[in-house]
A and B are shown apart, each in its own frame.
Chain A
Amino acid sequence: MEVWKIVLQFVTAVAGCFGFAIVFHVGCNEWLVASFGGAVSWAAYLLMLSASGNDYVAAFVGSAASAFYGEMIARKVRAPATVFTVIAFVPLIPGASLYRAADALMNGHSEEGRRLAVYTLAFAACMSAGVVVTTLILRKMGKVRAGRISG
């Protein structure tokens, strides 16, 4: 891929996250921090995609990165992590393929529709797994560390 295309992707991904931060009523002092998460998850996704060549593995790593980012920022600003995690994984959301699957099925292209539906489902499952695993690990670690400090 040419460099300008990657740059354009990053700029539009962050802009998309920024837009969603407004649409989801994130507090305005957190807009920039939240949308920067989009760059983090997209970078992790692209790196993993070129390293492994597997879309699903890349989705897992990309969303794991967004959950990591969300948890870290949430600890800094004492806000719920979901705010930052959800905004950060916006560029990875399989919204386009979910729409294309429904569109293909509606127009009678059932073969294409089924393929896209399975892809969307597997992609979303990998993303959820990435978020859940990362959150669990980080919270466990956080609790252990907090215990040591207070103990």
Chain B
Amino acid sequence: MNREEAEEYLYCALDIGQLLLASGAEVNRVEDTISRVMAAAGVPKVEVFSITSNITVTAHLDGFQTLTQMRRVYAIRTNMRRIEELNQLSRDICAKKLKPEEIRDRIEQIQEEKPANSCLLPIGYAIVSGAFALFFGGDLNDFAASVLIGFLLCYIERLISRFTDNILMTALIWSTIGGFLAQLTVLSGLGHHADLISIGNIMLFIPGIAFTNSIRDMFVGDTITGLIRFMESILLAGIIAVGFTLAGRILAGLL
């Protein structure tokens, strides 16, 4: 294999890795996938290092030649379907030895594919909110209020993300509005317990899964990634608490 070919393969492998990371895949899956793709391309010796925001790969070619490429990942949004498709793609690469052009086409297809259920997303938010309001002991009124707020919050989140892609900023605005809405439903008589209504909405955004996964990352040896996710989730949880407290205090001051 010549250098240009190897560079092309490495570029494709990093495209896959970058998309995987941005869709919320685990770091060791990303590292594993890149090494496998490169091995299938005929470069058996590859060094991959990845954390949540960065992938660095060096491929060793014949005669002391090395190739290094780096990618930066900014925002992570969980998209399980995409992870599945990319996983299938990397299996196909290993089994059928796809050419770089074919890989590029497949990646483009996966990227362009709109999430099939993007119009269902508000319903998903509503279901999660309502289910957890009941789960933590709310009554039917709290359930109705939480479903309503969850549905609205999906659109509010979309609106906020047009102005800023800072996660903490989004969470602060979002949780303040969520707190206000919960208090309003109680004032209007629809809901009964503001805290139980809110807990349903909070479950949507509280980084409970990220928090648990961060400790799992540390368990399997990805300590840096684990620490980054750990700090991010603690900050995010704090900000969400600030938002809901703010809403309660401002409203209490107004009334």
Q: Which residues of A contact B (CB under 8 A)?
A: 8-9, 12-13, 15-16, 18-28, 79-80, 82-83, 86, 89-91, 93-96, 98-99, 101-103, 105-107, 120, 124-125, 127-129, 131-132
Contact = CB atoms under 8 A, between A and B. Distances in A.
Interface residues of B, number: 55
B125 A93 contact: no
B185 to A, nearest CB: 19
Given A25-B80, A25-B117, 4 more contacts: A16-B135, A82-B25, A90-B209, A99-B202
B219 interface: yes
Interface in B200-255: 202-204, 206-209, 211-213, 215-216, 218-220, 233-234, 237-238, 240-242, 244-245
A83 B206 contact: no
A150 B124 CA distance: 43
Contacts of A28: 116-117
B103 to A, nearest CB: 19
B107 interface: no
Contacts of B213: 86, 128
Q: Is the interface of A mostly helix, strand, loop or mixed?
A: helix
Contacts of A102: 234, 237-238, 240-241
A95 B220 contact: no
A18 B135 CA distance: 14
Contacts of B81: 25-27
Contacts of A80: 25, 29, 83-84, 87
Given A27-B84, A28-B116, A99-B202, A86 B209 contact: yes
B34 interface: no
A125 B215 contact: yes
A91 B212 CA distance: 13
Nearest to B84: A79
Contact of B115 (A13, A25, A120): A25
Interface stretch (B7-15, B40-48, B54-62, B126-134): B126-134
B176 to A, nearest CB: 13
A12 B200 CA distance: 11
Interface string B14-44: 0000000000111001000000000000000
B84 A94 contact: no
B237 A128 contact: no
A93 B135 contact: no
B82 A25 contact: yes
A103 B245 CA distance: 7
Nearest to A77: B84
Contact of B208 (A98, A125, A128): A98
Nearest to B204: A23
A89 B215 CA distance: 14
Nearest to B115: A25
A23 B117 CA distance: 9
Contacts of A125: 215
Contacts of B126: 19
A102 to B, nearest CB: 4
